[in-house]
């Protein structure tokens, strides 16, 4: 799959790929490229990164990655409320739990479906936060959740194979070399 890397270069290369992909996703979050938006909404790049990160990770590492991605996402927002932290952490928790129970494969179709469902879950959690803080009525939030949730879930699941599959394969390769 990948050429054999020298043993000492692997941790550096893995750190570069991990941090570089996280920063790339945060930059893609700010872009509104024509043809990549539905109803003005773009894919949830950082949530896709959290899912790819959590697929083959122990729960503690999945949660730490989710916290880092959520803090980056929140730092790029105009408003401090609501936070992406609860949604990202819950997504990382469920994805890493399913990995431990061997429900997940690294097939790109499964990853796209997983991204679709987890994006909807994260958007529902965001809507609950709006409701808890009184930032909207339940009827208004339900309508917005349908628009925002479906648009971002569809876009994210369409772009998931492009982002998640190479990252999952890279981290599988690193894990395989570590076992040798």
pTM, two decimals, is: 0.89
Where do we find the tokens 């043993």? Answer: 7
For 4-46, how does the pLDDT look when each residue is reduced to its tens digit (9 = 90+)? 667 677 888 889 999 999 999 999 988 888 878 888 788 999 9
For 80-118, how does the pLDDT look when each residue is reduced to its tens digit (9 = 90+)? 678 899 999 999 999 998 866 665 555 778 888 999 999
Burial of 13 per CB tally in 10 Å (0-12, 13-18, 19+):
middle
Look at residue 177 in the predicted model and tell me its pLDDT.
81
For 44-57, how does the pLDDT look when each residue is reduced to its tens digit (9 = 90+)? 999 999 999 998 88
How far is it, in rounded angstroms, from Cα 91 to Cα 141? 21
How far is it, in rounded angstroms, from Cα 180 to Cα 170? 16
């Amino acid at each position: 799959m990948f050429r054999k890397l020298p043993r000492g270069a692997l941790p550096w290369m893995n750190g570069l790929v991990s941090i570089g992909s996280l920063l790339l996703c945060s930059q893609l979050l700010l872009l509104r490229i024509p043809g990549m938006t539905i109803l003005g909404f773009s894919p949830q790049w950082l949530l896709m990164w959290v899912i790819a990160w959590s697929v083959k990770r122990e729960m503690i590492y999945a949660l730490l990655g989710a916290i880092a991605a959520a803090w980056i996402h929140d730092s790029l927002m105009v408003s401090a409320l609501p936070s992406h932290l609860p949604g990202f952490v819950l997504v990382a928790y469920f994805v890493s739990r399913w990995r431990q129970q061997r429900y997940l494969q690294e097939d790109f179709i499964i990853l796209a479906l997983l991204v679709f469902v987890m994006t909807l879950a994260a958007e529902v959690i965001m809507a609950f936060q709006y409701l808890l803080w009184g930032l909207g009525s339940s009827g208004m939030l339900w309508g917005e959740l349908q628009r925002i949730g479906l648009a971002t879930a569809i876009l994210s699941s369409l772009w998931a194979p492009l982002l998640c599959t190479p990252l999952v394969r890279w981290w599988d390769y690193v894990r395989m070399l570590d076992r040798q």
